[in-house]
């Protein structure tokens, strides 16, 4: 009887020892490191865009209405994760980061189209192509994070010049 109790107790302790450390580690997870990991994934995803995708030009690049339309789409579909000012939010990284602002429009379009599903960014391939290009126009109009503001630029009728 005593051997059976010892065996059961040993089994319980082994199970607790196996499952307790990961559970404690999740409770103490650092949100800042999760956000950094999300950002690193997003930025590395930009680098994974195939050359053919990177080479795509934004057909709405010179369309003054594209930035304003992109801003509306951003507010409807992106701000919840990337923040109202696109400087990073609950789940998504800053879109004002140099890695995004320096990326080719085609690479940004590719990420929008394919998403970053493992990090929670949806696939936007069902969003009509012109609307994805409007989002690209808006994102590129934001400028780098060093030009910090509390909101996206007030003048959204003209994309920033490069």
pLDDT digit string, tens, across residues 38-83: 555 567 889 999 999 999 999 999 998 999 999 999 999 999 999 9
Work out the mean pLDDT of the chain and round it to a whole number.
79
In a domain, 90, yes or no: yes
Among 11-15, 23-27, 106-110, the least confident range: 23-27
**Range(s) of the domain holding residue 119:** 34-141
Asked if residue 127 is part of any domain, the answer here is yes
- pLDDT score, position 123: 93
Q: Domain for residue 71, yes or no?
A: yes
Q: Is residue 25 part of a domain?
A: no
**143: confidence class by pLDDT, cuts 50, 70, 90:** confident
**Total number of domains constituting the chain:** 1
Question: Which two tokens mark 63?
Answer: 């369309």
Residue closest to 104 by CA, chosen among 158, 59, 55: 55
Q: Is residue 149 part of a domain?
A: no
What percent of the chain has a predicted confidence (pLDDT) above 70? 64
Residue 154 lies in a domain: no
Radius of gyration of the chain from Cα atoms?
22
At 162, is the secondary structure helix, strand, or coil?
coil
> Has residue 120 got a pLDDT over 50?
yes
CATH number of the domain that 67 lies in?
1.10.760.10
């Amino acid at each position: 009887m005593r051997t059976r109790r010892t065996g059961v107790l040993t089994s319980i302790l082994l199970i607790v020892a196996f499952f307790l450390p990961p559970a404690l580690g999740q409770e103490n997870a650092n949100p800042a490191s999760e956000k950094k990991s999300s950002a690193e994934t997003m930025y590395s995803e930009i680098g994974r865009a195939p050359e053919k995708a990177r080479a795509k030009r934004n057909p709405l690049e010179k369309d003054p209405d594209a930035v304003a339309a992109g801003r509306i789409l951003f507010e409807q579909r992106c701000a919840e994760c990337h923040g109202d000012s696109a400087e990073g939010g609950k789940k998504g990284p800053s879109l004002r980061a140099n890695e995004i602002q320096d990326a080719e429009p085609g690479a940004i379009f590719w990420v929008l189209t394919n998403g970053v599903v493992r990090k929670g960014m949806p696939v936007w391939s069902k969003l009509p192509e012109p609307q994805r290009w409007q989002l690209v126009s808006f994102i590129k109009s934001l400028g780098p994070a060093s030009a910090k503001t509390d909101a996206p630029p007030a003048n959204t009728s003209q994309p920033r010049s490069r």
